[in-house]
Amino acid sequence: MSESRTPPEFPKGHRPQVFDDPAIDQLHDAWLALATELAVAFERIDTLERLLETKLGVARHEIDTYVAPAAVATERAQRRADLAHRLLRPFREFRAAAIARGKHADTPPDSET
């Protein structure tokens, strides 16, 4: 009987570059990862809504028409702001590094002139 092995966290070898700018490849990879995570989250939400409906009798229209109390709305707004802060961090860091190098923030880092 063979033992199951955990695949490596990072594949060996060179990653293929699809776009002319490697930064676009990185952005594309990040976008695909985020889209995949969102698809999984949607499936889990759908599962929870179906379980709530079948097991506890919470109708979907109750979920759709729910209005959050002010405290919950504030908490959700903070969670959204935190998420946006984390997602935009690489862009802020890129801009800060470009400014520190004395370049315009929209100039790629490898185009030194």
Does 6 reside within a domain?
no
Please write the tens of the pLDDT for every residue from 94-103.
888 888 988 7
Note whether 109 and 97 are within 8 A (CB).
Answer: yes
65 pLDDT above the threshold of 70: yes
Please write the tens of the pLDDT for every residue from 36-48.
999 999 999 999 9
Q: Which residue has the higher pLDDT, 100 or 3?
A: 100
Please tell me whether residues 96 and 73 are part of one structural domain.
Answer: yes
Alpha-carbon distance of 99 to 95, in angstroms, equals 6
Number of separate domains in the chain = 2
Alpha-carbon distance of 93 to 7, in angstroms, equals 32
| Residue 78 in tokens | 């903070």
Does 11 reside within a domain?
no
The average pLDDT across 87-97 equals 86
Residue range(s) defining the domain that contains residue 73: 67-103
How many Cβ atoms are within 10 Å of 56's Cβ, its own excluded? 7
Please tell me whether residues 77 and 48 are part of one structural domain.
Answer: no
CA 104-82-10 angle, 5° bins: 75
61 pLDDT above the threshold of 70: yes
